[in-house]
Structures are given as structure tokens and as C-alpha cells.
Structure 1
């Protein structure tokens, strides 16, 4: 991957000036670069059929059209083949502030400012107002997961769906200035799904989780929001079944049971 990163830097005529940063599954690699004397970010990712359905490699570029949400913009991109594997390189605007966590669930309690929470609320409202795309969360995946983990029948398609980031957690959020990173998975989801996903990722820290819930209550405390919480819970419980985020399994399941009673 670092060889592809160096090759892409030459193709884009940018200068690598930072240390390469790999994602946990080595699905992508990125590095700070100089682009015509300006700080930028170069990322290389490969197409993996196990990673997701649809043309998700183009999602970061497609997200350029989203307005009112603090996020990087892709300035240059191209694709190439490597022994039958589809590769993609992107040069994006540089984000100076670091992600709050290196993983979906932080190992140290995040303490966002009130202004940061307000900015997040506004960003999620602007995102939800964006025209609904065709791709996104799979309703069958959600319905099957709710049946498997909670033993009830819920049809996620009967509630409103809106545009969502679909992977909102602490590793995709920066501070002190809010920027939402990694738009590879964005698409449609049950209304409130992003708020529900972040809430689930925060359940190990009840104080911060309560602040998230108060700020985003208009996303969460609705019939659609409760279905969105179950949809997010399913995703986290699937991670736990695979040996990841196991500390969240019990609180996420308990949250799901509470929401079921409300439904």
C-alpha cells in the first residue's frame, strides 16, 4: 500500500511530507502532502468485495456535493488496476485537527464542548436535508439483525429514511474544531441513524452519552429514531460477534431492550 501511495504522489505531483497512516484492516493508507505548496491529504484505497456493496470507492468524491457539513473536499482523484484489484487515489483538503479517537469506541472518555455538540447537531440536520441517494444501509440487513439479536420483528422501511454518514463514530470526528471524516459509506439510513451510531459508540461513558442524547434528542426520541437505534445496535453487536468492540456488547444490547419497550 505504501508503494501505491508513493506512486500516486508522483502521479498527482504532490510531495509526501508526513508518515503514512494505515487503517486498522490495512484497507487504505493516507499521508500529509504538499499540493502546489498547500497542505493536503493523499489517500489510497483498494476495492474489497468484503468491505461493502456498491461503488463505494467513489463516495468521497460524490460527497463533495453535500452542503452545510464540515468535511474534507476531494480535489483530485484517479483509479488504476493492480493485478486485477481496483485501486483509487484521492487528494483532499487537509484537516489540521486530529480525530478524537483512533478507534470507533474511544479508550479515553471524550469531553466535547457544548459548541462542538451544537455544531454536530447542525451538521447532522444539514446532512439529513440532502437529497436521498440510492445507496446506503441495507434494510434487510437491519431487519434480519433485529430479529437475530433482539427476537422481534421490526420493518425498518416503515419509518422515514434520510441521508446519513452511516459510519459516525469517534474516529471519524475531529476536535476542537468539528470536521466529519471518511465519507466512503454515506447514503440513506433510518432517520436518526448517525446520532444512534455515535450514541452506541459512547455507551461506555454514561456522562458523555447522556450529553449526546440530550443534544440529539430530536433525532433519537422519535419512532424513526428508536428504529435507528436498533439498526445501529445491530451493527455494533455484529462487530462484537466478530470479536471487536466487545466491551460495548452489553450496554448496546441493554439500550436496544429499552428502545424495544418504548416501541
Structure 2
């Protein structure tokens, strides 16, 4: 979840969200709003004839309102095994208006809050019990074994980006590929009952990618980062897991060049030095 975007974007998204409630026969509940990055998404709790739900609106320039990100939640609904806890997708609608395309998705309502509220980065030690971690570990293992032709991370990108943003010559050949959620951060995980949210970008990625991403977003809280390494050690404390960490560090260091995740840059570089020492 992110902060409210600039006024023009916020007004446009609110108008389109209102249109989506009409199209899906839903009624907003309360005043709560959940914004995505730079106002790309707007979600609100709603009431429907089949019970309370969560209505998520996605927007994109009209010429980009299709493809992997557009179809990800629908494909996840069809493909994900029961071992992966997530809100179920009930209905969806797509339309275009002006320069933008829109996707409205009606989900079952998840009552547990996300671990972080407004951003992916963790800033305090979360109160997560053994059951939560066990459920997450089982879910990641189940996702990893799911066959998919979707792509979350491309080898071609790694060939270009890893030497550039890591600042070293490196073998960029991915040692193993598995299916990943692709955006596993703290604002996409609920507690105390686990649900994994936001299935836009799932697909094939370097083995260990999800666990590596969660660890990277924990680096501002060393105790929490150490807990991720311990709880998901069967994934991360392996050669493939360490390579996945290098992939994630590459991606997040690239975001710092655009002005995002600046607080993570120093701990990411410290983690990079440690991984390189491990060999």
C-alpha cells in the first residue's frame, strides 16, 4: 500500500472505482482506501449480495492495458493450489476510457491486515508466529513447483543489469528456475492469518526469488532479516538462494537510480559484500 497520488490521478481513480462498483453491483463500505504505487491501483472494501468483498481497480495507459500483469490474478485463480492462501477472485471487468484502460477485480474480503501498511519495506520487527512462517514456507514451496509459461524475471535482463548495478563481472546464468509470486514483500502479506496478495506479476524466476525479495525488504530491521534467513533457510542458505539474492539486489539497486528505495541502498550493498565473500 502506498500514499495517495497527485490530485488529478486520485480524482480520476476514484471516479473509475465508483463506476466499477456499479458494474459489479457493489457498495463501498466506509472511507478506507488502499493505493498502489503512484496511484496505479485503488482498492476499497465493498458489500455485495454474496457478502463483503474487496474491489481493486487497476489502471494503465490504454496501449498497455493487457498482457501478463493484466491477466495475472485471473491466471492465479485458475492455477494456484490450495496450499497457497490468497483472496479468491470472484469477478472482473475491463474497459477503456480516454487515455486509460481499467481492470476491476472483486475479491473475497481478507480481514487480517497487511504486515506493513503503506510500503513494502519493513521498519519494525513483526509479530509472526511459527504457524505463520510454516504456512508461508509451504506456500512458497507450492508456488515453486507449479508449471507455468509466465515469466517474472528474464535472463536477458539479468545479463544486462547484474554487471551494471552490482558493479562487478559476474556469471549471470541462472542456476535454476522455478515459479514465483514475483512481488513478495511485507505489504502483500497479511497477519496474524497469512494471505498472499497481488498476483499480477507471478511467473518463472530464479529459484529462491520470493524469499530473497522478502529478505531484502527486511534489511532495515536486522533482527527481522535474520529471522527471514532462519525461517526460509532451506531456500536462501543455498547456492541458488544466494544467486536469487544477487538478482534481487540488482533490481532494487536499479530502483534507487530512479529515486526509489533509497534507504535500502546502503544495506543492500553491505549484503552484496557478504554474499560475494561467501562465493
TM range (shorter): over 0.9
- 5 Å matches for 1:237-252? 237-252=253-268
Q: Which position in structure 1 is the counterpart of 2:17?
A: 5
Indicate yes or no: 2:30 matched with 1:14.
no
The unaligned stretches of length 5 or more in structure 1 are none
Residue by residue over 1:70-100, the C-alpha shift from the partner in whole angstroms, topping out at 9 and shown as x without a partner, is 1111110011011142211110111101111
For 1:228 and 1:50, the matched residues in 2 are separated by 32
Q: TM-score, normalised by structure 1?
A: 0.93
Q: Which position in structure 2 is the counterpart of 1:47?
A: 60
Say whether the 8 Å CA contact 1:156–1:227 is kept in structure 2.
no
Deviation, structure 1 residue 136? 1.4
For 1:113 and 1:50, the matched residues in 2 are separated by 44
Query: Match of 1:7, SS?
Result: helix
Deviation, structure 1 residue 199? 0.4
The answer to which of 237-246 and 204-213 deviates more is 237-246
Q: TM-score, normalised by structure 2?
A: 0.88
Deviation, structure 1 residue 257? 2.2
4+ residue segments displaced more than 6 Å: 49-53
Deviation, structure 1 residue 51? 8.8
For 1:247 and 1:36, the matched residues in 2 are separated by 45
1:38 pairs with 27, 48, 51, which one? 51
- 5 Å matches for 1:31-180? 31-48=44-61, 54-64=67-77, 65-67=79-81, 68-101=83-116, 102-150=118-166, 151-157=168-174, 159-180=175-196
How many residue pairs match? The answer is: 262
Residue by residue over 1:189-234, the C-alpha shift from the partner in whole angstroms, topping out at 9 and shown as x without a partner, is 1000000000001011111111110111111122211110001111
Deviation, structure 1 residue 42? 0.6
Say whether the 8 Å CA contact 1:143–1:153 is kept in structure 2.
no
1:190 pairs with 192, 206, 214, which one? 206
Say whether the 8 Å CA contact 1:61–1:73 is kept in structure 2.
no
Deviation, structure 1 residue 154? 2.1
CA RMSD in angstroms comes to 2.0
For 1:56 and 1:91, the matched residues in 2 are separated by 16
With over 3 angstroms needed to count, the CA separation of the structure-2 counterparts of 1:59 and 1:50, relative to structure 1, is: same
For 2:226 and 2:66, the matched residues in 1 are separated by 34
1:220 pairs with 236, 245, 248, which one? 236
With over 3 angstroms needed to count, the CA separation of the structure-2 counterparts of 1:191 and 1:213, relative to structure 1, is: same
Say whether the 8 Å CA contact 2:125–2:224 is kept in structure 1.
yes
